[in-house]
A and B are shown apart, each in its own frame.
Chain A
């Protein structure tokens, strides 16, 4: 089984796709990247919902699209689990499964009862999609796509609606399906953890283009090792005034006051301040009556816990700028940061490059 995807097309004037991907054997390929990077567009293209000339797509010795031919999406036998799942609300869970199996083009490699057993759907069959939990809906959607007898399964952020426990369960199901039925998969995600847990071959997608493929090991080195190193981040600040009594210059960083020792900064100049990621202390509350001068609230953007080693990285945003802190993984238990919530950071050391 080989999959070869060459796609070059424009979705709008500003945004285009230009990728060249391949997968050997019945493996799992991951497309990893930020939202809006074009991952879903690539899946739509493979499923046959983006028709552009001069592209090439081959799945398992079958050419689905080239210069002269275009296989209609209903004849492609490619399973597609959309991010929004798209279960049919007018049909029961069983009806949803039957919808797929009744239209399957060839003798399915997996029977309805097998799907029901593997995905644990037995108790759901009579229920309607709107009464199922997120994890149940996800399993149903995966089961339904299996029953259409696919040569390839596309999964668009299949775990985004789920809590951690259900995520791990669904990942296990997917791996089991991949190994048992030898169906290759393309797994789209913006989460490095998920990608590392499931994929055999990882393409990072940025602005509609792919980078060279990485093995899980290479990927892990690239995305998870940094948490042990120290990194320097820079922020843009505006110089306010020098306070000669205390010997400090006040800077304005997105409305917050920061103080540095330099006395030779030009007022109203925008400068870059450098912070080492281990010099940022994160706390849930504002610390009053402390010796720390540089303390302000930030919004949690993401928490990167590699799952091993001593450190994790927490990324923050302050208005349009971003910061990141290296914290001991152990402290995450006490701090329990959540995405989008407000926390306070204290900066112990801030250095300024003088432009003068």
Chain B
């Protein structure tokens, strides 16, 4: 493994970790709101969250690129506060990845929240538990499966991201050249041996994450079974 490959690998893991953590912070309240609200806005927000599943990454990437440009309101505001442009930067990649992986985190967590009986929450309320307390002591522990699935899927999905990165990040070593881009690079220069190695690693890694996820999920189910 060359130094460049290592840097790409490290960058990829860093991007996936930062993205998943940000998603846990942004996506959890969003999932809770979606699971509870009867507001009209759900009709708009719900499909918006799911859009990245169906849209080609290039479409998202294209709009993000426009939003990131210093001519746009968002891009200008970012440039003014941080001093660096968003496009072709690591921060830009994080913003793109959050949007791109949002449904993969929000949907399993939202489903978990929805599966909690309303009466169970009312029981906690009746025992003197307030809103915030209920969320941390009842709803979160009962939704741990949803959190695990959401976190793993968004992490794995970010690792496999390509289209958006290409549109908004380009190919800058140690800044935006994630593994998927490095593989593309190697194939383009007909360097199949390196491409094989990187692709194989990514394949194995993704497989391991999913295997671990399903195993843990099964273990938690079995444990429940023993209690019965």
Contacts and interface: CB of A to CB of B under 8 A. Distances in A.
Contact of A88 (B130, B138, B224): B138
A74 B224 contact: no
Contacts of B222: none
Interface stretch (B98-106, B121-129, B148-156, B180-188): B121-129
B141 A73 contact: no
A80 B227 contact: no
B228 A130 contact: yes
A79 B125 CA distance: 10
B120 interface: yes
Nearest to A79: B126
A84 B119 contact: yes
B137 interface: yes
Contact of A74 (B128, B137, B138, B228): B128
Interface string B174-203: 000000000000000000000000000000
A100 B119 contact: no
Interface size range of chain B in the complex: 20 to 34
A89 B227 CA distance: 10
Given A86-B117, A86-B123, A90-B142, A128 B227 contact: yes
Most chain A CB atoms below 10 A, which of B125, B130, B142: B125
A195 to B, nearest CB: 23
Contacts of A90: 138, 141-142
Contact of A100 (B128, B142, B228): B128
A99 B124 contact: yes
A49 B122 contact: yes
A82 interface: yes
Contact of B142 (A49, A80, A89, A128): A89
Interface in B59-101: none
A74 B227 contact: no
A88 B120 contact: yes
B227 A104 contact: no
Interface string B148-179: 00000000000000000000000000000000
Interface in A118-151: 127-131, 144-145, 148
A103 B126 CA distance: 10
B124 A80 contact: no
Contacts of A129: 227
**Which among B120, B133, B142 has the greatest number of chain A C-beta atoms within 10 A?**
B120
Interface in A80-112: 80, 82, 84, 86, 88-90, 99-100, 103-105
Given A90-B141, A130-B224, A131-B228, A100 B127 contact: yes
Interface of A: 47, 49, 73-80, 82, 84, 86, 88-90, 99-100, 103-105, 127-131, 144-145, 148
Closest 7 CB pairs of A and B: A103-B128, A86-B123, A128-B227, A130-B227, A90-B141, A80-B126, A100-B127
